Amino acid sequence: MGPESLEAKQKAAVEEVLKAYPAKAAKNRAKHLGVGGPEDETQKTCGNVRSNKKTVPGVMSQRGCAYAGSKGVVWGPVKDMVHISHGPIGCGQYSRAGRRNYYIGTTGVDTFVTMNFSSDFQEKDIVFGGDKKLEVCFSEIDELFPLNNGITVQSECPIGLIGDDINATSKQYTKKTGQTVVPVNCEGFRGVSQSLGHHIANDTVRDYVFDGNPAMLGEPVAVTDYDVAIIGDYNIGGDAWSSRILLEEMGLRVVAQWSGDATLKEMAQTTKAKLNLLHCYRSMNYISRHMEKEFGIPWVEYNFFGPSQTIKSLRKIAAFFDEGVQAKCEEVIAKYQPMVDAVTNKYRPLLEGKQVMLFVGGLRPRHVIGAYEDLGMEVIGTGYEFAHDDDYKRTKDEIFRSTVIYDDVNEYELEAFVKKLQPDLVASGIKEKYVFQKMGLPYRQMHSWDYSGPYHGYDGFAIFAADMDLAINSPVWAHTSAPWDKEGEA
Amino acid sequence: MQEIDNIMNGQKLFQRPEYKEVLENKKEFEGSMGAVNPAKVEEIAEWTKTWDYREKNLAREAITVNPAKACQPLGAVMVALGFENTMPYVHGSHGCVAYFRSYFTRHFKEPTPCVSDSMTEDAAVFGGLVNMKDGLKNCAALYKPEMIAVSTTCMAEVIGDDLFAFSVAAKEEDGGEYLPEDYPITYAHTPSFTGSHITGYDNMMQGIMSQLTDGVEVVKNDKINIIPGFETYIGSIRSVKSIAEKMGADFTMIGDHSDQWDMPAGEYSMFQGGTPIEEAKACKSAKATISLQKYATTKTMKMVTKRWKHDGGTFNPVGLKGTDEFVMKLAELTGNEIPQSLKTERGRLVDAMQDSYPYMHAKKFAIWGDPDFLIGAVSFLLEMGAIPTHVLCHNAPRGWEDEMRALLDTSPRADECHVWAGKDLWHMRSLLFTEPVDFMIGNSYGKELMRDTNTPLIYIGFPIFDRHHLHRYSISGYDGAINLLTWITNKVLDQLDEDTKGIASTDYFFDIVR
């Protein structure tokens, strides 16, 4: 690292970044930037950063909105329901099928995830209100898509501003037809990021799925002592599937996936599960806490990124069950260990010592650190788009070394940090991808797995390792400087 | 389990027997019709292919399913990025900006700078003035743009924020530290509940052109302004510039985003290319303004022709005739002869059309996209003897349907050509099942139609997320028409091979030479 320690370099970078701001903005941003030390008990949150506050205007934040948190994250992947983007045309179009929430079903007939249903508000709907139009939307959906198992209404900004009553409209329709209709007041201006949208969506699951007694197809599923639900896995690139297989191999029965490849019935049945397994704490801790309080279901956070965390998590989950499950858990760990060793032996030498900077959403800014470190890679910077204090507290346990922590980082800051700290890989979202690739830096999208994945579980780890090698060791990065460039100038 | 020498991602991983078993077992809990009664799914799927379903589908009044349009501020962001060192600034919630940036970035595979002033619930109550004051100042301090171009989200429009008053107030409060008196802050109101992304393009373009020229003395010159419109083909802008250069025109491309979304690797700078602000300020002095997209510049061109009294008009240089008309207009405006180089280019296009016509002739096409794109692309299909069976424009403005009908009526098979204004892609699905075509031309949203109806999709349009580099090409001018011809003809040939590759059954027609 040379004479300057990593920590000193990181602190200097933070100070330098703040200089560019006008005073008011600098004061605000200073509270969101810090340097975290592993197991540093003096820090309240990792890097002592503040979070879940309003974004500074005009800075090019990467954050999304409450609608994105509800429609895009929590409700959108529920496959057998139709999700209406209620309001003008844009929101539904921009968020259509971009998240890779994989599912099995006949799209347009019994499943609808990658489609875009919009009430396409026009000026007259703004002026006169859209409740009548919404009701017609419901009946048209039921006529043309008769196998849908329910409808959700995902409110866009205008709905809450013009005084529409989607709750009454939905209730009325349910009363008339028996159809499950879930109104969600997730207008984009609510809260400061996606996060409030998750919470609002969680609350509507409570009110309309648990308390709503939705009509469901097929027989009720018999309960066993080994029933668990995967909560907060959106099955991006099939993540929940490569997690599910491990849980089933150790003798558990996964009765529901929330909400990747989920159905309404799976969600409703979760109230009878024995244990809730929570992957994305940020987006679904609310409903997990509710189920604990209301139905006495304990929940446990787990992490299926990388073998170290996966093994720890499998044992943590098994500990809730009898010795049979615990024994099988050890068998599963033993079964996959040779594959893990082979992956590590193959890729660690290719990736050892490479430094990584992350900026992602819900759980990944801390959860994926272990996977990188399993490959000998070093995460030196991380941050969340929409985390709260409890996320940054948890982050303290997952970092391995001095790490620059940036909450709600914006384009200017991330670019400045990368230039100063010179990582070998940047891992964030689509909006930033090409900024860093232009600089000749290897990059992986860590929201969509860059059109690869799954990354969860043992099988996912092998893909993750191969993808990181692909990114870092691709010959394309070497072409950036031309042969006629003078040495040292490139 | 993964094998170390053959690590497979989800595509093949989930086809392995252990995963097939997992997915099969999952059905026990699902309660979707596919899990409970697959025969019923089959039955309904078949029903969706019928005329009965089509009639019910076309009778929809309220719900839009799989649209082929976006909202106004998206177009405004494109306009802003066509001016040198200009930051698109969206007054409203930041979720919208995250969407615009992702949408363009997924299409162009290029960064898309744009800021928002992050209005939240309190701004919804009290108005967004504070956000705008802080936002403009922070944006200017961090990114140092030469101009900030402000558009609005529907939130700001519903609460009725006044952009002009706000920008004046922002400058006043800043006191010239970051936002000097003469700092250009241009703006346009772009409500998402009116029109579509092309309306937003029009509003922002009109806003920038009128505000930048406000107070600038008009000294008439021989210049020609060319406005590209909501052009998603980088190569098209370059083709048009090349034609104008060959014609010896003294021209300014107003809103030239071609370099912004086509940056070379090496180093990153936030802004590249674009119309220089000084040049844009002088655009009123030009003698003529040509818009390449009529429906994306209605309001702008009204200002230019009625108030500014510019010569020019709309010329859509997609296809042979459209390009000819554009070239002839430039000849008229410049007084120059059409040079041999352009005549040769035209000759090469016609030669190529005459080489390939048997494969496009009488083939039936379904096509959708923006209104101006469709006018150009359908003209070209007609020039090749193809039949545009279904022409669908979700964001069709007033007048477009009649213009398209008149265009189709020039076809000898006009009665087989249908115009669908204001319809969406779920309507298109019914049309394709009931009145099938040979090929579709459209954007990535056609992918599901391809899967469901088995109609081959030729990727031309916006957005294209799942094919690479097509946006780098041109679809305008003579060279652009050769690209259209190449893509379409070769897809026809690919399909012919696909249909004839059956060993010992159809492969007598699997010709090596075509």
Task: Answer yes or no: is pLDDT of B152 > 60.
Answer: yes
Query: CB A22 to CB B177 under 8 A?
Result: yes
| Closest among A331, A322, A330 to A225, alpha carbons compared | A322
Q: Is A56 in contact with A87 (CB distance < 8 Å)?
A: no
Question: A192 to chain B, minimum CA–CA distance in Å?
Answer: 7
* pTM confidence score: 0.98
Task: Answer yes or no: is pLDDT of A1 > 60.
Answer: no
Mutate to test the interface with A, among B3, B4, B9 (most CBs of A within 10 A): B9
Closest residue of B to A84, CA-based?
A: B63
Q: In this predicted structure, what is the pLDDT of residue A4?
A: 84
Task: Answer yes or no: is pLDDT of A486 > 80.
Answer: no
Q: Which of A93, A238, A410 lies at the smallest CB-CB distance from B10?
A: A238
What is the pLDDT confidence band of residue A2, given thresholds at 50, 70 and 90?
A: low
Question: A423 to chain B, minimum CA–CA distance in Å?
Answer: 16
Cβ neighbours of A125 in B, within 8 Å: 193
- What are the tens digits of pLDDT across the range B68-127? 999 999 999 999 999 999 999 999 999 999 999 999 999 999 999 999 999 999 999 999
Q: In this predicted structure, what is the pLDDT of residue A336?
A: 98
Q: Which of B2, B158, B267 lies at the smallest CB-CB distance from A162?
A: B158
Mutate to test the interface with B, among A93, A124, A272 (most CBs of B within 10 A): A93
Residue listed under structure tokens 């004479």: A3
Distance in angstroms (rounded) separating the CA atoms of residues A329 and A350 = 31
Closest residue of B to A68, CA-based?
A: B95
Distance in angstroms (rounded) separating the CA atoms of residues B105 and B233 = 14
Burial bucket for residue B472 (CB in 10 Å: 0-12, 13-18, 19+) = middle
Question: A393 to chain B, minimum CA–CA distance in Å?
Answer: 26
Distance in angstroms (rounded) separating the CA atoms of residues A376 and A396 = 19
Q: Left, alpha or beta for A131 (phi > 0: left; psi -120 to 50: alpha)?
A: alpha
Q: Which residues of A are catalytic?
A: 65, 68, 99, 198
Token output for A390: 């409890």
Active-site residue, selected from the candidate residues B114, B139, B154, B378: B154
**Amino acid letter, residue B265:** A
Q: Is B315 in contact with B322 (CB distance < 8 Å)?
A: yes
Cβ neighbours of A63 in B, within 8 Å: 94-95, 98, 118
Q: Is A23 in contact with B179 (CB distance < 8 Å)?
A: no
Query: CB A93 to CB B56 under 8 A?
Result: no
- What are the tens digits of pLDDT across the range A211-229? 998 988 999 999 999 999 9
Helix-then-strand count for chain B, H and E: 22, 14
Cβ neighbours around B267 below 10 Å, total? 10
CA atoms within 13 A on the CB side of A453: 26
Token output for B170: 């922002």
Q: Which of A94, A192, A463 lies at the smallest CB-CB distance from B120?
A: A192
Task: Answer yes or no: is pLDDT of A189 > 50.
Answer: yes
Active-site residue, selected from the candidate residues B41, B158, B216, B350: B158
Task: Answer yes or no: is pLDDT of A329 > 70.
Answer: yes
- Collapsing DSSP to helix, strand or coil, A488 comes out as coil
- What are the tens digits of pLDDT across the range A99-109? 999 999 999 99
- Give yes or no: B318 in active site: no
What distances in angstroms separate CA B51 from CA A143, B47, B56, B75, B441, one per listed residue? 15, 9, 9, 37, 23
Q: A339 in contact with B at a CB cutoff of 8 Å?
A: yes
Q: Which of A108, A147, A264 lies at the smallest CB-CB distance from B40?
A: A147
Mean pLDDT of A174-187: 97
Q: Is A52 in contact with A391 (CB distance < 8 Å)?
A: no
Residue listed under structure tokens 């979202």: A429
Mutate to test the interface with B, among A54, A89, A436, A452 (most CBs of B within 10 A): A89
Q: B317 in contact with A at a CB cutoff of 8 Å?
A: no
Residue listed under structure tokens 């009898």: A322
Query: CB A93 to CB B101 under 8 A?
Result: no
Query: CB A68 to CB B98 under 8 A?
Result: yes
Q: In this predicted structure, what is the pLDDT of residue B115?
A: 98
Distance in angstroms (rounded) separating the CA atoms of residues B295 and B238 = 21
- What are the tens digits of pLDDT across the range B362-395? 999 999 999 999 999 999 999 999 999 999 999 9
Task: Answer yes or no: is pLDDT of B179 > 90.
Answer: yes
Produce one character per residue of B104-135: b if its CB has 16 or more CB atoms within 10 Å, e if not. bbbbbbbbbbbbbbbbbbebbeebbbbbbbbb
| Closest among B444, B155, B68, B152 to A118, alpha carbons compared | B68
Mean pLDDT of chain B: 98
